[in-house]
């Protein structure tokens, strides 16, 4: 089964998932989904949007905003970062350093955004 890329609006609680369709077909390419959502925010012009790759369940995501990398990040990595961000910094200083570096290189993925995306799965 191939991955289907859908739009995800994180400005709502819980987040809203919506289909991205081109010429009557679902999108199976992350970059096409990002480009489509940038050109047409599908009724969410001022919202915080990402695209999610679904093979049911969510397996990957990519930011739509212009911050940082447009790369696709697997959901396992996002879950690990999300959990690490919840830890007390003094509890695991080396982990805190690694997470800080990851979030510096991936500014799109804020603590709030990760939480909104992952905690309603």
- Return the pLDDT at 75: 97
Residue 88: half-sphere exposure toward Cβ, Cα within 13 Å: 2
Rounded mean pLDDT of the chain?
A: 90
pLDDT tens for the chain, residues 1 to 121: 689 999 999 998 899 999 999 999 999 999 999 999 999 999 999 999 999 999 989 999 999 987 655 689 999 999 999 998 888 767 778 888 888 899 999 999 999 999 999 986 5
Digit-coded pLDDT (tens) for 8-31: 999 988 999 999 999 999 999 999
| Count of H-run helices and E-run strands, the chain | 4, 7
């Amino acid at each position: 089964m191939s991955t289907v890329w859908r739009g995800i609006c994180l400005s709502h609680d819980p987040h809203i998932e919506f289909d991205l369709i081109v010429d009557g077909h679902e999108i199976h390419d992350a970059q096409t989904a990002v480009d489509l959502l940038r050109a047409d925010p599908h009724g969410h012009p001022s919202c915080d949007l990402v695209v999610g790759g679904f093979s049911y369940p969510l397996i990957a995501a990519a930011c739509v905003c212009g911050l940082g990398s447009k790369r696709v990040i697997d959901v396992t990595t996002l879950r690990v970062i999300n959990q690490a961000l919840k830890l007390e910094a003094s509890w695991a200083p080396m982990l805190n350093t690694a997470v800080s570096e990851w979030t510096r290189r991936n500014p799109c993925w804020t603590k709030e955004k990760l939480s909104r995306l992952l905690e309603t799965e």
